[in-house]
Amino acid sequence: MVVKGYASALVGVEAIVVTVESSSMSFNGEMGVTCVIGLPDNSIKESLFRCEAAITHSGFEKVRQRQIINLSPANLRKEGSGYDLPIAIAMLAMSFQIPMERLEQFIVMGELSLDGKVKPIPGVLPMAMCAKKAGFSGIIVPADNAFEASVVDGILVYGVKNLEEAANFLADRIKLTPVRHHTALSEAMENVTYEFDFADVKGQQNVKRALEIASAGGHNAILIGPPGAGKTLLAKSIQSILPTMTVSEALETSAIHSVAGKLNQKQRVVSNRVFRSPHHSISHIALVGGGSTPKPGEISLAHNGVLFFDALPEFHRNALESMRQPIEDGKVHISRSKFSIEYPSKFMLIASMNPCPCGYYNHPTIECTCPMGSIIRYLSKVSGPLLDRIDLHVEVSPIPIDDLSSNKNRSESSATIRKRVTLARAIQKTRFQNNEFDNIHCNSQIPSKFIQQLCHLQPKSQQLLESAMSRLKLSARAYHRILKVARTIADLAHEKEIQPEHVAEAIQYRSLDRSNWGNRVAPMD
């Protein structure tokens, strides 16, 4: 006889159904040893000991016959302790302590302690999405994960505290109430609050304008200026002007955080665009993702949100260079000898840096003390190819003392700016609703093959851009990024055609290109 139950395995940020098969094997009536096959890792091999102890301490009879537990598909490596509960359920069904009729209706996941309690596991949200897609009646998960899984509509979520509760429910001896999401996800996203607001930032109107453009088109931006100019505060405030996430975006982001084990009782779902700010000592694996047990990195945790690099040149060179391809593709490919997975990584990169090691090069009142070679080496830490992938280069000047002390001329609030950004995003959504532009949601994501079609220039605008390309010695990638930024500026102005003034404004945001940096440093020699 073969007993079949169902669990789920994570492949990247998606989940697939795993069949948990159990069959008894006796040898001349002697008690054997239960084993697990189907590419289990060490934590799953150890689960047999946890399952046997949990079964005994939960009031069930000890399973005496030898069982073979097969996790199918057998060619997919299974990892983590979340298979404890489905394996224990299969062992109980195989020993006729619970009926097997209801096992096919549910996906079951959870880690067991020795006393039979069910402990939380990561990745429950994509597992619930998988259960719904596969047509299961419901999913049984640890009680601490139930709220997270209940975000998915159309699937019954049952939270269990211990093995006894799960087994008796599947045996139809007790009734459990499905967990309901108390607050609609869409309502939660509408009621988000922000810690920082552009209204609290004194002056810096040109920088605010640049960040508004970046937010409207999903563009990357770098802020360069002396210490104390407000670069970090401006970057942290950008979260407050981004449009509210859609339900699908919230589910995508929450699924990534679920796989990474970031969701908990305090944050059971991601309802706002995330703002990730890793320390400059971060390794490229922690940034990109991977490891022996693959997990999403910071660039995937920032999906649909903002990734902020404070003091960009201080980051390890290999960490920075590892981002080049994800910035272009919007996803991370991690290939190892035993597996290959993919994580989404569509984020806005916002970076800040000083113009030199001491921070005061080109400062109007404070003299720079850095030798020329030191300045050049410092600027060279940011490679040209990476800089090419940043759409807007924005110079941040120190704030005059009069602006700091004045209570007049209060800046626009983030809510006011967010309305303009949201309207510009709506224009882009309409533009990309054609099936031809699948997976394009904002101007920064326009592929090269659609540039000429979507960012068409009139002769005057084209002439202006060609002149700038020659004068500034810009790359082909910079050319395309200027066009995308100009398209966004036109959207903010509610213009169907890109005008020369839109191109001119987009060009000025390439002021920190590699060749320009050298020219700016040279006069001080």
Res. 110 pLDDT band, cuts 50 70 90 = very high
Res. 518 pLDDT band, cuts 50 70 90 = very low
Same-domain pairing of 86 and 158: yes
Same-domain pairing of 126 and 217: no
Same-domain pairing of 406 and 309: yes
d(CA 86, CA 65): 18
Judge if the upstream peptide bond of residue 73 is cis by omega within 30 degrees of 0: yes
CA 199 and chain centroid, separation: 28
The residue among 136, 170, 204 that closes a domain is 170
Same-domain pairing of 361 and 504: yes
Asked whether residue 315 is domain-assigned, the answer is: yes
Classify 242 as helix, strand or coil.
coil
Same-domain pairing of 241 and 126: no
**Bigger pLDDT: 335 vs 338:** 335
* CATH code assigned at 204: 3.40.50.300
pLDDT recorded at residue 519: 44
Asked whether residue 525 is domain-assigned, the answer is: no
Asked whether residue 175 is domain-assigned, the answer is: no
Asked whether residue 397 is domain-assigned, the answer is: yes
Element (H or E) spanning 283, and its range?
none
Query: What is the torsion angle, in degrees rounded to the nearest 10, for the CA atoms of residue 210, residue 212, residue 214 and residue 216?
Result: -150
- Region 253-271: mean pLDDT is 84
* CATH code assigned at 126: 3.30.230.10
Instruction: Give the sign of the dihedral formed by CA 272, CA 122, CA 309, CA 358.
Output: positive
Answer whether residue 293 shows pLDDT above 60.
Answer: yes
Answer whether residue 523 shows pLDDT above 70.
Answer: no
d(CA 237, CA 195): 8
Same-domain pairing of 373 and 225: yes
Same-domain pairing of 163 and 242: no
Q: From 149, 141, 151, 144, select the one nearest 183 (Cα to Cα).
A: 151
- Region 250-264: mean pLDDT is 89
d(CA 133, CA 213): 38
The residue among 135, 170, 205 that closes a domain is 170
Asked whether residue 180 is domain-assigned, the answer is: no
Answer whether residue 43 shows pLDDT above 60.
Answer: yes
Same-domain pairing of 405 and 515: yes
The residue among 123, 138, 170 that closes a domain is 170
CB 11 within 8 A of CB 341: yes
Same-domain pairing of 344 and 216: yes
Asked whether residue 357 is domain-assigned, the answer is: yes
DSSP-derived secondary structure for 102-158 = TGGGEEE--EE-TTSBEEP-S-HHHHHHHHHHHT-SEEEEEGGGHHHHTTSTTSEEE
Amino acid at 183: T
Q: From 127, 138, 129, 190, select the one nearest 160 (Cα to Cα).
A: 138
CA atoms within 13 A on the CB side of 423: 14
Same-domain pairing of 326 and 232: yes
Answer whether residue 336 shows pLDDT above 80.
Answer: no
pLDDT recorded at residue 362: 80
DSSP-derived secondary structure for 408-434 = SSPPPPHHHHHHHHHHHHHHHHHHT-S
pLDDT recorded at residue 513: 63
Element (H or E) spanning 85, and its range?
helix 84-94
Model confidence pLDDT, tens digit, residues 201-224: 888 889 999 999 999 999 999 999
Q: Tell me the pairing of strands 138-142 and 106-108.
A: parallel
Res. 520 pLDDT band, cuts 50 70 90 = very low
Total structural domains within the chain: 2
pLDDT recorded at residue 185: 62
Model confidence pLDDT, tens digit, residues 462-472: 999 989 888 87
Q: How far is CA 42 from CA 45, 80, 309, 335, in A?
A: 5, 8, 37, 21
Q: Which of 153-162, 252-261, 282-291, 467-476 has the lowest mean pLDDT?
A: 467-476
Answer whether residue 141 shows pLDDT above 90.
Answer: yes
Looking only at Cα atoms, what is the longest distance across the chain?
A: 93
Task: At 154, give phi and psi (nearest 5°).
Answer: 85, 10
- Region 453-458: mean pLDDT is 89
pLDDT recorded at residue 122: 92
- In this prediction the pTM is 0.86
d(CA 478, CA 119): 51
- Region 141-158: mean pLDDT is 91
pLDDT recorded at residue 186: 60
Res. 489 pLDDT band, cuts 50 70 90 = very high
pLDDT recorded at residue 138: 95
Res. 375 pLDDT band, cuts 50 70 90 = confident
Classify 186 as helix, strand or coil.
helix
pLDDT recorded at residue 109: 97
Residue 122, domain extent: 2-170
Q: From 259, 331, 257, 294, select the one nearest 286 (Cα to Cα).
A: 294
Asked whether residue 383 is domain-assigned, the answer is: yes
d(CA 498, CA 495): 7
| Contacts (Cβ under 8 Å, ≥6 apart) of 490 | 496, 497, 498, 499, 502
d(CA 174, CA 198): 55
Mean pLDDT, rounded, of the chain: 87
d(CA 203, CA 473): 32
Answer whether residue 157 shows pLDDT above 50.
Answer: yes
- Region 404-420: mean pLDDT is 79
The tokens describing 57, both together, are 């301490």
Asked whether residue 179 is domain-assigned, the answer is: no
Answer whether residue 514 shows pLDDT above 70.
Answer: no
**Bigger pLDDT: 235 vs 441:** 235
The tokens describing 367, both together, are 């003299």
Same-domain pairing of 124 and 222: no
CB 370 within 8 A of CB 358: yes
Same-domain pairing of 163 and 286: no
Q: From 314, 317, 307, select the one nearest 351 (Cα to Cα).
A: 307
The tokens describing 341, both together, are 């997975």
pLDDT recorded at residue 407: 63
- Region 103-116: mean pLDDT is 95
